[in-house]
A and B are shown apart, each in its own frame.
Chain A
Amino acid sequence: MQVPVHEYKLDNGLKVLVKQDKRAPIAVVQLWYKVGSSYEHNGSTGLSHVVEHMMFKGTQKYPTGEFNRIIAENGAEDNAFTGQDYTAYYQVIAADRLEVAFELESDRVRNLTLPPAEFKKEIEVVKEERRWRTEDKPTSLTREQFEAVAFLNSPYKNPVIGWMADLDAMQVEDLRAWYERWYAPNNATLVVVGDVEPEKVLELAKKYYGSLKPTENIPPPKPQTEVEQKGVRTIKVKAPAELPYIMMGYKVPGMINAKEKWEPYALEMLASILDGGNSSRLSKELIRGKEIASSASAWYSGFGRLPDLFSLSGMPTKGEKLETVKAALLEQVEKLRNEPVTADELARAKAQVIASEIYERDSQQNQANVLGTLETVGLGYKLADEYVDNILAITPEQIQAVAKKYLIEDSLTIAELDPQPIDPNKPKNTRSFVR
């Protein structure tokens, strides 16, 4: 029971995707831009995310504060998110007020004023956000440094929120240049999911977005293809903490660059065999079974613009050592290389994929997210239609094959959090970063 997606393109290059969902009289409206942290460069990390913050600071027509005021007046929810490969702005609004969302969002595609005084305050807010998200959280800090070391020249090495030094040095002119370069109708996709009529959505899109000028020659980002890894990388991250933690990641292909089309799907199933529910291997064998980990997880997604990692992480339970968890995770990888997964395990993993497809439709936001992501990273939203079939076609042999081919030591990065005593009288920022 696929629901059709209506696809349109305006003359200025804006793509419009509409999916009906009449279960409630609401609509989710998202504008996705092809820009995110992986488009940024050394010294300028965090730009896309700071633009996101400044998007709420006014245009000529709607000065600072007006956007939020009007959104609230209409009882809408409104926010935005920045990732490695995209930035998306959204409203969830009563379907009969759709036009409000179109009017406000289209206005800030081109007309942001970026007032310096607002920037000065807002950059401080972003720094607080960074402290809150990363600086004071030992596992987040470990993850950030893990990614920075796993990649040498792929822009996935940079945190989405940016390095603190880059935030300190950021100027409002940097933002203006960034905004002018990437924020254009021909670099965006508008996604609408909800109780709407596709033709009416198109009409509104033309009315509000149609007159926006496209940017000619938006230069595609340079390749920045990650250099081949030549052996295992290991780091320790020292931070005030109570619990040790380990992250491991292998370089693997994504859908966008996989030479064999099935490989990313086999990797997804592999992640699911390890960590696709309470019956999966990591829960069953590390958390129960041997009882050595208090948490353990495996993660892969083939939906990036650039190749990414297949990653594993774990935390020892009381009385266990980090070494034991590390050995157990590596043993799990070894086992996947040596033996095919069982038919039962694979059937369970597939059953969950099918059920999730149905559950996902309970949320209009999720449906919109799928369309927006696929379109924005360059895979095309139609991939969503083949996804389940491609997953269901995966065999135990294929899973073993990707494990053998990609989960190898030479492309592995390991980061260990080494907890330091929590002493309130010790000065902050004494973390060392040992390679």
Chain B
Amino acid sequence: MLKTIIVAPLVLLFALFTAQVSAAPKIEHWTTVNGLRVYYVPAPELPMLDMRLIFAAGSARDGAKPGLAMLTNAMLDKGAAGLSEDQLAEQFEAIGAVFSSSTSNDMGWAGLRTITLEKEQQAALELWLKVVSKPDFPQKDFERVQKLALVDLQGEKQDPASLGGKAFYQALYGDHPYGQPENGTEASVQALKVDDLKAFYQQHYVAKNGLLAIVGAVDRAQAEALAEKVSGALPVGEAAAALPEVKPLTEAKTVKIPYPSTQAHILVGQVGNKRGDEDFFTLYMGNQVLGGSGFTSRLMKEIRNDRGLSYSVYSYFAPSAQLGVFQVGLQTKLEQTDEALKVVRDVLGKFQQDGPTAEELEASKKDVSGGFPLRTANNSQIVEYIGMIGFYQLPLDYLDTFTTKVNALTREQITEAFTRRVQPDKMVTVIVGGDEK
């Protein structure tokens, strides 16, 4: 009901790398009869329910058909069990239910949010089950979705940030599946056929390849019944094979993309870490000091506060099933490109060598552990967390032990991890903006 204000936040928030914790909700876990893993947190306070069904069906599974995972996921609600997209949308919206779905490099997921009045919840569940287990992939709707995907690809060409992001992944990963664009290329999207999508769906959207996250005003017995119902609608299937390992870069690479923007968009980075990685905590805390904590990070201090070079500057590790990215990003007016890049490299090099100061680490520990209750304060956040924990099969006490693990870290451990895992002389640098020279 609020007018969308032109919000002017001082830093960008990058949710994907914030592996934070909360006054940890207790996660209950079990497996359904046909092999679907279930993760459940009761939240009785509000009459609403969130469910998220997640599969190892992300773009890393595209194979030779970039865009396949994304389009398959986008087609779920375009017609199911004989109902058209219009009918599905009308029925969800008539009861105030919200269907959502998306993909990342590792995952493909479908979500439901509903109020828990008996009639509405029942209707929402039935409808959602049709969408997730009986999608029709109608030819006509596929052609429209394909066309929209092509418009998106065209739109990226007027967005220097997207151009830079894509070039970064490509330069970093080469032939590895993580290097392919999640939304494909014009040629690959055009070449997709409905049968490709159906085959992808049938292989990947199966009980043994997924998990269900449940958060809301349902008790354990109700959650078990829900889970059996959901998994009963899915074929058993097989879990997807592990993704190939990532090979780190062996030399530095620079990619320049000319563009008539007023700013240069700069990305610097390399491969980072995995979910469940032994260096996860050291890299996470090191990065908090370097560029992950927002206002107080070193990059923010040097680039923005001391020099006024950029509105936003950040660094993050995006841990994935295989080695994800480590990235530093900023934008600055064209004339300042070299200056900004030099500061980034200096900060990065110095940090990699010396690590955080004792003071910085202490402050960062206070920040991360003091912020503990903020990260899982509402149902939306919790369903996302338990989905992540379930997908990567992290320990169920991941949230409970996070603070303890963070607080036990020493400067030396962090410096050692950065020395071992970060190679300032073997980074990808992408610059979008400026002319051909």
Contacts and interface: CB of A to CB of B under 8 A. Distances in A.
Nearest to B90: A279
Nearest 9 interchain pairs by C-beta:
A75-B370, A355-B96, A424-B258, A75-B371, A83-B5, A124-B308, A301-B3, A121-B308, A279-B89
A59 B46 CA distance: 41
A362 B379 contact: yes
Interface string B79-101: 00000011001101111111000
A177 interface: no
Interface string B176-211: 000000000000000000000000000000000000
Contact of B333 (A26, A65, A131, A348): A131
B436 A352 contact: no
14 contacts: A24-B23, A24-B376, A56-B10, A65-B305, A78-B295, A80-B9, A121-B305, A125-B304, A127-B333, A284-B86, A284-B89, A356-B1, A384-B1, A422-B260
Interface stretch (A166-174, A224-232, A236-244): A236-244
A294 B151 contact: yes
Given A77-B371, A303-B3, A428-B261, 15 more contacts: A69-B363, A75-B366, A79-B9, A287-B148, A294-B147, A317-B147, A317-B148, A317-B151, A358-B115, A359-B113, A362-B378, A366-B2, A370-B2, A373-B5, A429-B262
Interface in A392-428: 419, 422-426, 428
Nearest to A391: B1
A73 interface: yes
Interface string B322-334: 0000000001110
B296 A243 contact: no
Given A125-B304, A358-B115, A424-B435, A132 B97 contact: no
A315 B155 CA distance: 11
A351 B89 contact: no
Interface in A336-393: 344, 347-348, 351-352, 354-356, 358-364, 366, 369-370, 373, 384, 387
Interface string B2-13: 111111111100
A344 B90 CA distance: 9
A52 B5 CA distance: 15
Interface of B: 1-11, 22-23, 43, 45-48, 77, 85-86, 89-90, 92-98, 113-115, 141, 144, 147-148, 150-152, 154-155, 157-160, 258-263, 293-296, 304-312, 331-333, 363-364, 366-374, 376-380, 434-436
Contacts of A26: 373-374, 377
A11 interface: no
A83 B47 contact: no
A283 B23 CA distance: 41
A75 B368 contact: yes
A12 interface: no
Contacts of B93: 276-279, 348, 351-352
A348 B258 contact: no
Contacts of B23: 24-25
Given A68-B295, A72-B296, A131 B366 contact: no
Contacts of A53: 10
A374 to B, nearest CB: 9
B311 A426 contact: no
Contacts of A278: 77, 85, 89, 92-93
A360 B379 CA distance: 11
Interface in A197-255: 240-243
A243 B307 CA distance: 36
Nearest to B86: A284
Contacts of B160: 136
B154 A288 contact: no
Contacts of A79: 9-11
A304 interface: yes
Contacts of A22: 45
A264 to B, nearest CB: 11
A161 interface: yes
* Interface of chain A: mostly helix, strand, loop or mixed: mixed
Contact of B370 (A97, A123, A425): A97
Contact of B1 (A160, A294, A370): A370
B127 to A, nearest CB: 12
A315 B151 contact: yes
B370 A73 contact: yes
A303 B311 contact: no
B158 A138 contact: yes
A240 B435 CA distance: 14
Interface in A59-102: 65, 68-69, 71-84, 86, 92-95, 97
A71 B10 CA distance: 14
A435 interface: no
B2 A136 contact: no
A270 to B, nearest CB: 15
A180 interface: no
Given A72-B295, A77-B374, A24 B22 contact: yes
Contacts of B263: 128, 131-132, 135-136
A81 B8 contact: yes
B86 A291 contact: no
Contacts of B155: 242-243
A122 B305 CA distance: 7
Q: Which residue, A128, A137, A241, A303, has most C-beta atoms of chain B within 10 A?
A: A128
A59 to B, nearest CB: 16
B370 A74 contact: yes
B371 A76 contact: yes
Nearest to A69: B296
Nearest to B155: A243
Contact of B158 (A129, A284, A422, A425): A422
A49 interface: yes
Nearest to B330: A128
Contacts of A363: 378, 380
Given A79-B9, A131-B263, A348 B90 contact: yes
A288 B86 contact: yes
A304 B94 CA distance: 29
B334 to A, nearest CB: 8
A400 B155 CA distance: 36
Nearest to B91: A279
Given A74-B370, A92-B374, A125-B304, A240 B158 contact: yes
A23 interface: yes
A33 to B, nearest CB: 13
B151 A125 contact: no
B3 A81 contact: no
B369 to A, nearest CB: 6
Given A75-B374, A279-B89, A356-B96, A122 B6 contact: no
Contacts of B312: 132
A72 to B, nearest CB: 4
B158 A358 contact: no
Contacts of A291: 144, 147
A351 B434 contact: no
A309 to B, nearest CB: 11
A86 B22 CA distance: 32
Nearest to B84: A288
A36 to B, nearest CB: 8
Contacts of A308: 3
A319 B295 CA distance: 45
A45 to B, nearest CB: 13
